[in-house]
Amino acid sequence: RSEPIEAPEVKSEAAKKVKIGIYFATWWALNVVFNIYNKKVLNAFPYPWLTSTLSLACGSLMMLISWATRIADAPKTDFEFWKTLFPVAVAHTIGHVAATVSMSKVAVSFTHIIKSGEPAFSVLVSRFLLGEAFPSSVYLSLVPIIGGCALAAVTELNFNMVGFMGAMISNLAFVFRNIFSKKGMKGKSVSGMNYYACLSMLSLLILTPFAIAVEGPQMWAAGWQTALSEIGPHFVWWIAAQSVFYHLYNQVSYMSLDEISPLTFSVGNTMKRISVIVSSIIIFHTPVQPVNALGAAIAVLGTFLYSQLLTVETSTNCSKQALEQVDDG
């Protein structure tokens, strides 16, 4: 008997799932490597403003070389594009530097536990600043997210206020970055990869003067000597690794954002945090108490619950709109 022939759309649906699966796995793996090297660098050289700037500079340089050598096609942009990109870049810069400052003060796992509360910020910003209402089930799903983060924070053995606030500021900034990015990418011919490249370049221009003002070359030179004498010449490779992997994981995440809904993206982002939290606890031997781990687990599970509820809400709205269109027609 001959095998039944699969419909082409079933095949392309399966191919799309495989492609997204590969994007996600690459994104998480690159992110884990970035987080490990970033923390190794910050432990030896506690200048998060400079390391944040170097990550953006490295990504910008990599993309300029790719465009010049035609490995990637340079995007066609106009003044309007850069104007719309500006608020995204401001939010990206604040979110990036705040997360790096946080990681320079606390364990990587702690920063990411607090960062798993990002959906809660998203709902609150949408509700209070954009006037968007959600069903009460969505608000209720924020209880485990906020409660879990709070439990993890109060039981954190190495709690530090700057570390905590840095992660909170990063959450708020990234919610704005995502809202502005969605608007900026809509209907534009610039690919996810090039959109992120332009974002890095603009963020680099914004961050550089602030990095010089907050830390400055004198501090960097002294810190550099100490790090080199303690770690040895391969410290330079740690810096290179954190910078290259920072750009690569963000580039892959923007490439997947091009293919999936922001909701699927946020589920992927939460799963990414689980890999980072677990691997960094193992690699850095971070002390964890059972109640602390419980708080983290509740927060991460709460984020899943939230994403599921929002998925149901979005698909119900879509079906309602489709029905209304049929009625109208």
Q: For the segment 138-197, give every residue that binds ligand 3PG (CB under 6 A).
A: 174
How many residues bind ligand 3PG, per CB under 6 A? 5
138 vs 247 by CB, closer to ligand 3PG: 247
Taking the CA atoms of the chain, what radius of gyration do you get in angstroms?
A: 21
Residue for token digits 């884990």?
32
The piece of 74-82, 94-102, 149-157, 161-169 that touches ligand 3PG (CB under 6 A) is 94-102
**Smallest distance, ligand 3PG to C-beta of residue 99, A:** 4
Distances (CA, A) of 297 to 137, 159, 192: 20, 18, 32
51 vs 292 by CB, closer to ligand 3PG: 51
Query: Is 100 a binder of ligand 3PG (CB under 6 A)?
Result: yes
141 vs 203 by CB, closer to ligand 3PG: 203
By CB atoms closer than 10 A (0-12, 13-18, 19+), residue 273 is buried
Q: 197-220 b/e with 16+ CB inside 10 Å = b? A: bbbbbbbbebbbeebeeebeeeeb
**Smallest distance, ligand 3PG to C-beta of residue 323, A:** 37
Query: Is 99 a binder of ligand 3PG (CB under 6 A)?
Result: yes
* Interacting residues of 127 by C-beta distance below 8 A, sequence separation 6+: 133, 134
**d(Cα 3, Cα 65) in Å, to the nearest integer?**
49
**Smallest distance, ligand 3PG to C-beta of residue 55, A:** 7
**Smallest distance, ligand 3PG to C-beta of residue 224, A:** 20
- The pair of structure tokens assigned to 41 is 């660098």
228 vs 278 by CB, closer to ligand 3PG: 278
Closest C-alpha to 121, from 73, 80, 171, 78? 171
- The pair of structure tokens assigned to 260 is 């999936």
- The pair of structure tokens assigned to 134 is 């959600």
**Smallest distance, ligand 3PG to C-beta of residue 165, A:** 15
96 vs 105 by CB, closer to ligand 3PG: 96
**Smallest distance, ligand 3PG to C-beta of residue 111, A:** 7
- The pair of structure tokens assigned to 270 is 């939460």
**Smallest distance, ligand 3PG to C-beta of residue 89, A:** 13
40 vs 115 by CB, closer to ligand 3PG: 115
Query: Cβ(181)–Cβ(81) under 8 Å?
Result: no
Query: Cβ(117)–Cβ(171) under 8 Å?
Result: yes
**d(Cα 61, Cα 59) in Å, to the nearest integer?**
5
Query: Is 120 a binder of ligand 3PG (CB under 6 A)?
Result: no
Q: In this chain, which of 115, 172, 177, 266 binds ligand 3PG, going by CB under 6 A?
A: 115
**Residues at the contact surface with ligand 3PG, assessed by CB under 6 A:** 96, 99-100, 115, 174
